[in-house]
Structure 1
Amino acid sequence: MKFSKTLKTLVCAALVIIPLGSAAAAAPIYPNLPPEIQQSLRDKGMSAWGMSAHVQAIGSPRPLISHNAKIARNPASVMKLLTSYVALGVLGPNYRWPIEISTTGTLQAGVLSGNVYIKGYGAPDFDTKGLREMLSQLRRKGIHTIRGRLIFDDTFFNGPKIDPGAFDGKPYNTYNAQPDALMFNERRTTFAAYRKGNKISVTTATPAHNLRIVNRIKLAKKTCRVNTSVKRGQGDAVTVTFTGYLARRCRKRGYTMVVTDPANTMYSAINKIWTKELKGRMDTQFMVGATPPAARPIHVHYSKTLAQLLPTVVKDSNNVMARQLLRSVGAKRFGAPATPRKGAEAVDDYLRSQGLDFPELRIENGSGLSRYARISTENISRLLSKAYYGKHRDVWMSSMAIAGVDGTMKGRLKKSAVRGRGFFKTGTLRDVRGIAGYVNAADGRTYVVSILHNDPAARSRGRKIHDNFIEWVFWGKQMAKGY
C-alpha cells in the first residue's frame, strides 16, 4: 500500500464513455458564459471571474459551455458526488455495515455474565431504532439479564481527533458532527423546552450518561425566548443550560445539538430499552475499548444498504454520513483502521483503476465541509457523465435532489419547467455556492451541468443566477447551431 506524503491527496474522478480525450480538447460552443448569464451577474454586481461552469450534452463530443472550467475551486457539498460515486464503486449498492455483539463471559439460564462487546464498523445510520432491534434479538435468544461490563468498540476508525469547532467555531451544530466507527444517532441530542401552566420543563428524548440539563427558563407574560449554553466538566461530563423566558402562548421549542459522544448516549439508550421496554435486567458499567480476538459472537446487526442511505447523503447533504462513507471506502480498500488519509488514497486508487485522473482535485473529509477541498467544473462534468453510463446509474440518479421536489432542491425552480426534470447536488459555504447534476432539456437531450462559484457574494446572490443558468440550459442550448 502506497500513500502520498500529506493529506493533500490528488484524487481522480470520472470519464464519459465516449472518449473525452478529444472531447475535452474540442472547442465549446460558448467559451464564455452566455450573454444572459453575464447580464445576471452584472445585475447582481458580481464578476464572471469567480464563477466556473461546464455544460455538455450526454453523448456530445464537445462542451456546450466551458467557462473557467479548468480552474480548481472549492465545491462545498458538491464534493459529496465524488464520495458517493466512489462508495458505489468500492462498496457496492448492496453493502451493509455490521454492528457486532460478542462476549468473553458466560451465558447460562438467560444470564449473560462478563464483558460484553459492541463493535461498530462505521454504519452511518445506526440509531435508537436499530439499537432496539438489536437488543430485541438478544431477548429472543433467551437472554434476560446482563451482568458485567459493556465495552463499546470504536477501533475500526482511527486518525487524528478533530476539533468539531475548528471549521467555523460552532462545535455543537449538527453539521459539524465528527465520524465514529460506532456512530449512534449521528451524535445528535434532541431537547424540548415547553411550558404547561406555571411549570416549565426541559426534556431530552436522547439522554446520555454524561449529560446534565440545567433549566433556568423563567415564566413570562409575553416573551418567548430561550437560549442555550454548553459547558464541559471533568472527564467527559457536559452540562447544557437553558435560560430565557416562556409565556403561556409560547409553543414547544425543539433543539438539536452535538454535545456528547456515541458511547455515553448509547449506554443510556441500552439501559432504557433493555429494562423499561424489553423488561430485562442490567447490572453493568461501561467503557470504550477493543474487542479481544477470543470474544465469541452473540449477534450481528446490519445497517441499511448503501443504496438506501445514499439519498440522505446526496439529496439531504448529510455531512457526517459522507465522512463515514469516505472512511469506510478507505477501510475496504486498504484495511482497518480506517482513516481520512486512507479514504482519500482509496478514492485516488479506485479512480485510477478506472483510468481516470483529476490532477487538481483535493479531498479532505468527503463531505465538502472544508476550506481545503478543490475540484474543477470540467472534471465534475466528467464524473457526472461517467456515472450516467455506469452500472449503478439508477441508484445514482435516485440519490440526487430533484428540482422543485425534494432534498436541497425542494424550494428551487418550483415554478419552472425544470421542475421534476433536473437532478442535482448543491453546496454552500461562506463565499461558496455550487450546483451540479443533470437537466432533461426541452430539446430531448440530457445535459450535465456543473457550476462552482467562489465569490464573497456567491452564497447570498448566486442562487438566482444559478437557477437562471439552469433554465437557460433547459430552454436555450438547443438553439446553438451545430450542437
Structure 2
Amino acid sequence: MLVRFSAFSLSALLLVGCATSAKLDPSSDTSTTTPAATEAVATTGASGNAKAVATESQKRQAMQRVSNDSSETIRQLKKSVAAKPWAKEHLALYLYDLDKQSLLWQYNATSAMRPASVMKLVTTITALELLGSQHRGRLELLISAADAAALQQRPAMAALYKLKQPLILRGIGHSALERRDLFAVHEELTRLGVAAPERVVLDRSWLPKNSPAAAFDENPLSRYNVVPDALLLEQNMQAYQLVSTNTSLQLRVTGLAEPIVADTKNLQLVDEPCAAKQLQSLTWQWSGDITAPKLAVAGRYPKRCTDAGYAQLLPADWSWQASWRAFWPDAKLVKLSPNAPQERRYVLSTLVDEPLSVRIRSINKYSDNAQARLLFADLSNVAETGDKHADTELAFGFPAAGAMTPADLQKSASVITQFLQQKRIDTKQLVLENGSGLSRQETLTAALLGKLLQWQWAQPSRFDFIASLPIGGVDGTLRKRFKNQPGAQCAFLKTGTLNNTTALAGYLMPQNRGPLVFVAIVNDEAAATEGVQQLNKLVNQLCQ
C-alpha cells in the first residue's frame, strides 16, 4: 500500500514531541561530582547547543527555500494566466496558504461569477455547521386515530390488521429514498402487525413536486436535471430500452412488466444515424396506470435504432406503485391520494436517512444535484430539525404526528446569506436559487468561496468535509483527471461544469509546502476547452 505524506501531514507529525527524562540513581550525590565529570557535562551541553543552533538554521533555510519556491510558482502562474486573453475578465482565482495564513494571489476575486457545481460547497459547509454532521432526514409512516386504537388492542398472535384509513408516507428532508427503503417499510409494517395497505397517501407537502418552467437544457430526462420533491424515489430514474423499426417504436422500462408499443401517430421515424440520448428530444405522454400503461410519443426518431440507459420516463407515482407491488405482488393496485387528510395522525414508525456527513459525499464527490437541492431546502427549517417536528403527546401507544413546516427556498437562501455574513464574508455578489449550481441565476465570488473554505479548515467538521471532496486521479468527478500528474492525490477539489463555465474549488495538499485553499472559476465560451486545460495546469504547477 502506497502511503503518501504531504507537507501538512509531516508538519503535524513534527508537532508530537518525544519527551525523555534521565533515570537518576536515588543513592547518588550530586555534590560529589568530579571536575572531569563537570567538564564532560559542560562539553556535552555546548555540543547540544551547537546542534540545536544548526538545526534551527537548517529549518530557516528550508522555510526560505519553500518561500522562494512559492514566490517562483506564483510568478509562473501569473505568467501563465496573462498569456490567455480570455482570462483578463473571464477568470477568477483565489489562492490562500493555510499554514502561513496569508493570501498568495487573487485575480478578479471579487467579480460575480457563475459557479456551476462548486456552489454545492456553500450549501454543504453551511449545512454541516447549522444542521450538524449527524442530521438525518426521515420518512414517517402515519396512521389514523382509529387505526392506532385498533392496533393497540390487537392480540399479539392475531392475523395482520388491515388499516381502515390510508397509510400516509410523509417525507421530511429524506434525500435518497430507494427500493430498499420500501422493503424496510414492508418489514416494519409486518413487524407491527399491519397488512399490505390498499390505500396510501404520498404526503409531499414538505417539498411539493414542481416542474420547472422550462427544461434547463437539451437533456431534460437526465439524472442531473431531476427536480426533487419530499418523496423522491430513486431519483425517479428507470432503466430503459427503446427500439424502433421502420414503422413502430417499442419501449421496455423498469417497473412495467411488458414492453409498450407506443402510439406514434405524432412521431416521425426518419432515416438518420442512430445516436445515444436521442430519446431526450421526444415528448412523452402517459395514460392508464402501471397495469395497463399507454404511451404516446411525439417528435423525431431514427428508424432501426436501439438505445438503452437510464432516464426519467415514468410518472413519479408510477415508480412508487411499481416498487410497492414488488413487495406485495398479491396486493391490489395501491391507490395513491395526492393530499393528506387534515385530522390528527399518529406515527406508526419512522425511517431515517443516512447522516449528513455521509450524504455530502454524494453531493460533492459525485455532484448529485437532486440531493444538493433537497439539502438546500432542508436549511429553511434550521430551527426546527430533529425531534422538534414531533409532539410529545402519546395516544394508543403511538406519538402524535407533529406539525410540519414546508420548505421555503427563499428562507434557505436567507439562512445561508446570514451564516456567511456572521463569518464576515462579503455576500454582495451572492445570488442563490437552489444551492446546487444548476442554475443560470446563481452567482458568487472566488473570494467568498475562498474565505468560506478558510473558515471550514479550522472547524471540527473539516474532516467530514474534506472526506466529501473528489480526490485527483482517485475518485468522484476527479477520478480520471490528474492521473499520473502532480495533481493526483494532491487535489481535493469540487468540480463545476455548465455551458461556458468550468470551476475547481477546495484544497491542495502539496508535498513540499503546507495546504492551500484553491478557487478557480472560468466563465467563457472557451471554458470546456482552454478553460479546463488552464485550471489543470494551475493545479499541477501548485502540486509540484
User: Which one is further off, 461-470 or 282-291?
Assistant: 282-291
Give, in angstroms, the shift of residue 138 of structure 1: 1.1
Residue type at the aligned position of 1:254: A
Residue aligning to 1:184: 233
Residue aligning to 1:9: none
Report if the CA contact (8 A) 1:164-1:176 is conserved.
no
Residue aligning to 2:98: 58
Question: More helix per residue: 1 or 2?
Answer: 2
Could you give the per-residue CA deviations for residues 198-244 of structure 1, whole angstroms, max 9, x where no partner exists?
xx974222459xx9663989xxxxx9667433323579998375965
Residues in 2 aligned to 1:238 and 1:431: alpha-carbon distance in whole angstroms: 40
- Percent identity reads 22
Alignment equivalent of 1:319, drawn from 353, 360, 369:
369
Residue 100 of structure 2 aligns to a residue whose secondary structure is coil
Alignment equivalent of 1:87, drawn from 109, 127, 145:
127
Alignment equivalent of 1:133, drawn from 179, 184, 188:
184
Could you give the per-residue CA deviations for residues 352-399 of structure 1, whole angstroms, max 9, x where no partner exists?
444544222111110001111111111211111111111111110000
- Structure 1 segment 105-254 matched on structure 2, within 5 A: 106=147, 107=151, 109-110=159-160, 111-147=162-198, 149-157=199-207, 161-163=210-212, 165-193=214-242, 202-207=251-256, 214=262, 227-228=278-279, 229-232=282-285, 239=295, 241=297, 244=302, 253-254=307-308
Residue 142 of structure 2 aligns to a residue whose secondary structure is strand
Residues in 2 aligned to 1:439 and 1:116: alpha-carbon distance in whole angstroms: 50
Alignment equivalent of 1:301, drawn from 351, 358, 365:
351
Report if the CA contact (8 A) 1:238-1:260 is conserved.
no
Report if the CA contact (8 A) 2:168-2:201 is conserved.
yes
Could you give the per-residue CA deviations for residues 160-188 of structure 1, whole angstroms, max 9, x where no partner exists?
x4426442254322211112011111122
Residues in 1 aligned to 2:304 and 2:287: alpha-carbon distance in whole angstroms: 32
Give, in angstroms, the shift of residue 271 of structure 1: 2.0
User: Which one is further off, 315-324 or 123-132?
Assistant: 123-132
Paired positions, count = 431
Residues in 2 aligned to 1:412 and 1:55: alpha-carbon distance in whole angstroms: 21
Residues 417 and 169 of structure 1: CA distance in aligned 2, closer, same or farther (over 3 Å): closer
Residue aligning to 1:267: 321
Residues in 1 aligned to 2:340 and 2:532: alpha-carbon distance in whole angstroms: 48
Residue 49 of structure 1 aligns to a residue whose secondary structure is helix
Residues 291 and 64 of structure 1: CA distance in aligned 2, closer, same or farther (over 3 Å): farther
Residue 202 of structure 2 aligns to a residue whose secondary structure is strand
Larger Rg: 2
Residue 441 of structure 2 aligns to a residue whose secondary structure is coil
Residue aligning to 2:310: 256
Residue type at the aligned position of 1:153: D
Alignment equivalent of 1:452, drawn from 506, 521, 540:
521
Report if the CA contact (8 A) 1:101-1:118 is conserved.
yes
Residues 225 and 173 of structure 1: CA distance in aligned 2, closer, same or farther (over 3 Å): closer
- Structure 1 segment 371-390 matched on structure 2, within 5 A: 371-390=440-459
Residue aligning to 2:472: 403
Residue aligning to 2:111: 71
Alignment equivalent of 2:509, drawn from 434, 440, 450:
440
Residue type at the aligned position of 1:325: L
Residues 349 and 379 of structure 1: CA distance in aligned 2, closer, same or farther (over 3 Å): closer
CA RMSD of aligned residues (A): 3.5
Residue aligning to 2:337: 287
Give, in angstroms, the shift of residue 85 of structure 1: 0.5
Residues 461 and 238 of structure 1: CA distance in aligned 2, closer, same or farther (over 3 Å): farther
Report if the CA contact (8 A) 1:33-1:67 is conserved.
no
Report if the CA contact (8 A) 1:146-1:283 is conserved.
no
Residues in 2 aligned to 1:180 and 1:164: alpha-carbon distance in whole angstroms: 16
Give, in angstroms, the shift of residue 266 of structure 1: 1.0
Alignment equivalent of 2:427, drawn from 353, 358, 381:
358
Report if the CA contact (8 A) 1:145-1:282 is conserved.
no
TM-score relative to the length of structure 1: 0.79
Give, in angstroms, the shift of residue 321 of structure 1: 0.7
Question: More strand per residue: 1 or 2?
Answer: 1
Report if the CA contact (8 A) 2:250-2:261 is conserved.
no
